[in-house]
Amino acid sequence: MNILLQYVVKSFDRSTKVIDFHYPNELLQEYNWELADQPQNLEEILMHCQTTLKYAIKTGHPRYFNQLSTGLDMVGLAADWLTSTANTNMFTYEIAPVFVLLEYVTLKKMREIIGWPGGSGDGIFSPGT
């Protein structure tokens, strides 16, 4: 969590670079990219997480501009962390009561916005790409 929070804070710092750019051949030479035959320990995994974020483009940086995306949506990030932490499925109330109810009231409100009387109707969200 500390690694992620440090990255988010650094992303908003105007004095930092948007990216610590290196050409692919430089990064390939600088780190061991071979897939290990044995599982790595938690310390090694966390080190790889730090390295990944070190060379990632800081899309939340105030000077990052892109035609497809820009900025860091803090509410979206919090929602992503919440759903990842809950690690649940949406297929029944018994598995995810709060998330199922959130889906229900959100869809009802959407139906009201488009003019369906009392928000009556049915629907589901279909996540994925």
Residue 20 CB neighbours (<10 A): 11
Query: CATH top-level class for 1-87?
Result: alpha beta
DSSP conformation class of 27: H
The residue ranges of every structural domain in the chain are: 1-87, 88-124
pTM for the whole structure = 0.70
pLDDT by residue, tens only, the chain of 129 residues = 999 999 999 998 999 999 999 999 999 999 888 888 999 999 999 999 999 999 999 998 989 988 887 788 889 899 889 988 998 887 789 999 998 899 899 999 999 999 999 889 988 887 665
- Cβ 78 vs Cβ 84: under 8 Å: no
Q: What is the DSSP string of 67-78?
A: SS--S--HHHHH
Q: What is the DSSP string of 79-117?
A: HHHHHHHHT--SS-TTT-HHHHHHHHHHHHHHHHHTT-G
